[in-house]
């Protein structure tokens, strides 16, 4: 029985195989990061306006104020913005969501969101950090038969 010796693949074959992997970088998260980076470069006044609005929306909530301060710190280091693009966009989105919830949602909902997304230890699994949350109020609000 003869065993075929594998032939080394050509560079073209390897590039062809890797093309789908290269396109993944342009996923929605990175596209958003690139869009925000462009705004940071082209319209710094718009960025400042958003940050001022978020500061006002954070009000006296110390967790939101600290999250805002972290964002301000990231924005003060322009050399690192490319490397931190996704982190910056995520932090911006989470802070915006938290300020909206604080202003318009029942306290149980806003408190749980802030506790699991902004304050405390970072968590990678949803549902962690709800020990002190009013879980019954959250479930009741989300249940269709309770509305």
Quote the pLDDT of residue 57: 96
Q: How far apart are CA 108 and CA 86, in angstroms?
A: 29
The per-residue pLDDT for range 73-110, each reduced to its tens digit, is 988 887 777 778 888 888 999 999 999 999 999 999 99
Looking at residue 29, its pLDDT comes to: 72
pTM of the model: 0.69
């Amino acid at each position: 029985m003869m065993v075929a010796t594998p032939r080394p693949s050509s560079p073209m074959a390897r590039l062809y195989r890797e093309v789908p992997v290269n396109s993944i970088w342009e996923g929605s998260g990175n596209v958003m990061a690139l869009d925000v980076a462009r705004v940071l470069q082209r319209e710094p006044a718009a960025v400042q306006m958003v940050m001022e609005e978020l500061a006002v929306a954070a009000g006296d909530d110390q967790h939101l104020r600290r999250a805002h301060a972290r964002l301000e710190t990231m924005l003060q280091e322009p050399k690192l913005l490319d490397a931190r693009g996704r982190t910056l966009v995520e932090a911006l989105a989470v802070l915006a969501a938290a300020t909206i919830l604080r202003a318009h949602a029942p306290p149980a909902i806003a408190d749980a969101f802030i506790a699991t997304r902004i304050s405390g230890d970072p968590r990678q699994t949803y549902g962690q950090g709800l020990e002190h949350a009013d879980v019954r109020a959250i479930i009741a609000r989300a249940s269709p038969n309770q509305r």
